[in-house]
Chain A
Amino acid sequence: MRHDFFDRYSRQDTLVHRASAAVKLIAALALIALILVAPITAVDFFVALGLTLVVIALVARIPWRYICGRLIWLEPFVLGVAALSLLQPGGLWVFLTIVVKSTFCLVTMVLLANTTPFAELLSVVRRAGVPALLVTTLALLYRYLFVLVDEAQRMHRARRARTFHRGRVGVWRDLGMIIGQLFVRSTERAERIYAAMLARGWK
């Protein structure tokens, strides 16, 4: 599986990528705050915002097809929850506001994730005073996420290769087994990582 589908373009070398991570993080958060407080009738603002995002994407050389792909993947969640807001008086207006605003916020975040390596974001939040334990946990999560996803997929494939068709109950039992085994392997991996960290002078 391709493991970098969510931040594939974060390690390019463009003007936007070279900008400081702190600036990009603050700018993205400020932009989202603006989007959320702006009234939906402020069409000028949303047009200007859209143009700004397009320019950033162009300068950072992030393909529009990629951004659209991410949106198509993410939009169903937005529409699903937003649909509930139709069930009230004046709901259509609420629905439109939510969908427009969250789409702009999604694009902003897709751009942030694809112009800033996660490690740089972590060092910004560490300097901002986020506790070290949480930052270490985040860093290890990012590092080992797809190692474990791969491990789970290998176990799943190995199981399927050795088993004829199983009923639904069997599939659930197998998946439960796989997740359980994944936890066992995770604890063993964590012990090896600790030994390796000590060997490299961590304290």
Chain B
Amino acid sequence: MHIPDGFIDVKTAVGTAVLAATGAGLALRQAQRELPPRKVPLLGVAAAFIFAAQMLNFPVAGGTSGHLIGGVLAAVLLGPAAAVVVMTAVLVVQTFLFQDGGVSALGANVFNMAIVAPVAGYALYRLVRPAIGLVAAAAFAGWCSTVVASLSCAGQLAVSGTVAWNVVIPAMAGIHMLIGLGEGVITALVLVAIGKTRPELLDQPDAPVGTLVPVGLVVALGLALFVSPFASSWPDGLEKVAEHLGFDTKAAETPMVPAPIPDYEVPGIGSPAVATALAGGIGTVVVFGLSWLLARMLVPKKPA
């Protein structure tokens, strides 16, 4: 999900940079306020921990492998503000030392993976935790955070005119609905492992809901800018959005390669936006159930 240089245009790069700087700045100030000095080194070591954890590959079918992203894991273990700082640091180092993700796309990458994923994920985690418990809530939030971050990423690519809306949104959402399953399972496994050896590390005081609001607003604004144009183009034609945003001219009259999916449509459903939303809705319900089952399997029953 790391966007390289050259994939987003100037307006998107500037817009996401402003959003990312605002969100990360708010989170930094909050972390500075609420973290005792003795926890300062923990942020750096936790960032190294997330980075190292991302390097461990989990085998998936057919020789492929997946790995953790860690936004929700960091938010559950350290609190949402600290998680934003940690994930931002990880992305900055990935950009400048590993060339994983472009400099011009740093704002977009920080926004998607260091702000949207941990903050939206943490909010969902807090919302469903009373109903299904810590492990299941973290697994569910891990899946949702991956899907939402990928939608935000897809929206940025589409707004930039790099990839057509009706291709990139279903493609990214589809792939990340699968990748997110891995994220959810790994997050749950790690939390169970920590609970077995040092359960007190999981008894962190909850961040007051009010402190989530400022960063939450940044997330909402960004998603409104980059994802909602896709949904609101319903019912008739994404061309209007293209026209509106001025990248329809880029679609040349004589295509060099014919589009394999000229009018992307699911039978019976008029618009890719509706189809994607429907699939997303069904997926969310299914994953909610799966998270609950997973936690039932992983968490040992307490003696009555």
B31 neighbours in A (Cβ, 8 Å)? 133
A87 neighbours in B (Cβ, 8 Å)? 163-164, 167, 259-261
Quick one: closest B residue to A150, CB to CB? Answer: B52
Q: Are B255 and A77 in contact (CB under 8 A)?
A: no
Known contacts: A102-B102, A133-B32. The answer to whether A183 contacts B194 by CB under 8 A is yes
A79 to chain B, nearest CB (A): 10
B7 neighbours in A (Cβ, 8 Å)? 81-82, 98, 102
A193 to B154, CA, bound (A): 40
A166 to chain B, nearest CB (A): 11
B163 to chain A, nearest CB (A): 5
A190 to B47, CA, bound (A): 11
* Segment touching A, from B85-93, B116-124, B222-230: B85-93
Known contacts: A32-B104, A87-B261. The answer to whether A183 contacts B99 by CB under 8 A is no
**A84 beta carbon closer than 8 Å to chain B:** yes
| A interface footprint on B164-193 (CB within 8 Å = 1, 0 otherwise) | 100110010000000000000110111111
Known contacts: A141-B93, A190-B46. The answer to whether A105 contacts B5 by CB under 8 A is yes
Q: Are B89 and A106 in contact (CB under 8 A)?
A: no
A111 to chain B, nearest CB (A): 10
Task: Count A interface residues, CB 8 Å.
Answer: 80
Q: Are A138 and B93 in contact (CB under 8 A)?
A: yes
**B281 beta carbon closer than 8 Å to chain A:** no
A89 neighbours in B (Cβ, 8 Å)? 251-252, 255, 259
A105 neighbours in B (Cβ, 8 Å)? 4-6, 102-104
Q: Are A37 and B45 in contact (CB under 8 A)?
A: no
Chain B, range 73-110, C-beta contacts under 8 Å to A: 77, 85-86, 88-90, 92-93, 95-100, 102-104
Q: Are B41 and A140 in contact (CB under 8 A)?
A: yes
Select one of B40, B58, B193, B194 contacting A194, CB under 8 A. B40
A11 to B189, CA, bound (A): 40
* Segment touching B, from A44-52, A53-61, A174-182: A174-182
Q: Are A33 and B48 in contact (CB under 8 A)?
A: no
**A152 beta carbon closer than 8 Å to chain B:** yes
**B44 beta carbon closer than 8 Å to chain A:** yes
**B292 beta carbon closer than 8 Å to chain A:** no
Q: Are B45 and A140 in contact (CB under 8 A)?
A: yes
**B137 beta carbon closer than 8 Å to chain A:** no
Given contacts A105-B4, A187-B198, list 12 more A-B pairs with CB under 8 A.
A98-B6, A99-B6, A133-B32, A133-B85, A137-B47, A140-B48, A142-B97, A176-B192, A180-B194, A184-B201, A190-B44, A194-B41
User: Which of B's residues lie within 8 Å of A, judged by CB?
Assistant: 2-7, 10, 13, 24-25, 28, 31-32, 37-49, 51-53, 55-56, 58-59, 68, 77, 85-86, 88-90, 92-93, 95-100, 102-104, 157, 161-164, 167-168, 171, 185-186, 188-194, 196-198, 201, 250-252, 255-257, 259-261
Contact sample, A vs B, 7 pairs, CB 8 Å cutoff? A133-B28, A134-B85, A137-B43, A141-B93, A144-B48, A180-B194, A186-B48
User: Which of A's residues lie within 8 Å of B, judged by CB?
Assistant: 6-7, 28-29, 32-33, 35-37, 70, 74, 77-78, 81-82, 84-94, 97-99, 101-102, 105-106, 109-110, 112-113, 118, 121, 131, 133-134, 136-145, 147-149, 151-152, 156, 168, 171-173, 175-184, 186-187, 189-191, 193-194, 197
